[in-house]
Copies of this chain bind each other. A is one copy, B any other.
């Protein structure tokens, strides 16, 4: 069966700093007309950074949407026309103050295809060199280093609660 849904019309109902929301009319495979709500996203990168000593660099930040601090791998949005691997190195340095001399692509996944087109590129970064964190004035991120043993303890205690972080650590073989 052909499952494709054909776009009949599209309207931007909100265009913010973080979220751009489209409200579309589509024709379903059975010929009926339905509506679809789509959060437009430029794409993202997330990086599992591992030091020469085998420690993993994580960031702790307050996530307003979920109302708590989360421990996550560094991540960020793609700039317009930006190459994902360049974005990965840029975000890694901005958020953690580390540059990486090796970068290995782990996967590219849609984070929530039910309502957004966000495609996330996951990388393993190695041979890290400490330079300097570059945060925006209104960005607050703590950088923390952990051994794989500590991270496995966090997993067993339910402290890894972010999907991309769980997936990245598994794909990188850390856990």
Is A80 in contact with chain B by the CB < 8 A criterion? no
Query: A1-B140, A3-B69, A111-B112 are contacts. A38–B21 as well, Cβ < 8 Å?
Result: no
A142 B14 Cβ-Cβ under 8 A: no
Give CA–CA (A108, B159) in the complex, Å: 10
Q: How many whole Å from A68's CB to the nearest CB in chain B?
A: 9
B1→A142 contact, CB < 8 A: yes
How many copies make up the complex? 2
| A111 contacts across to B, CB distance below 8 A | 111-112, 163
Q: How large is the interface on A (under 10, 10 to 19, 20 to 34, 35 or more residues)?
A: 35 or more
**A132 interface residue, CB < 8 Å from B?**
no
A→B interface (CB under 8 Å): 1, 3-5, 13-14, 16-19, 21, 23-24, 26, 28-30, 32, 34-39, 60-67, 69-70, 72, 75, 107-120, 137-138, 140, 142, 158, 160-164, 166-167, 170-171
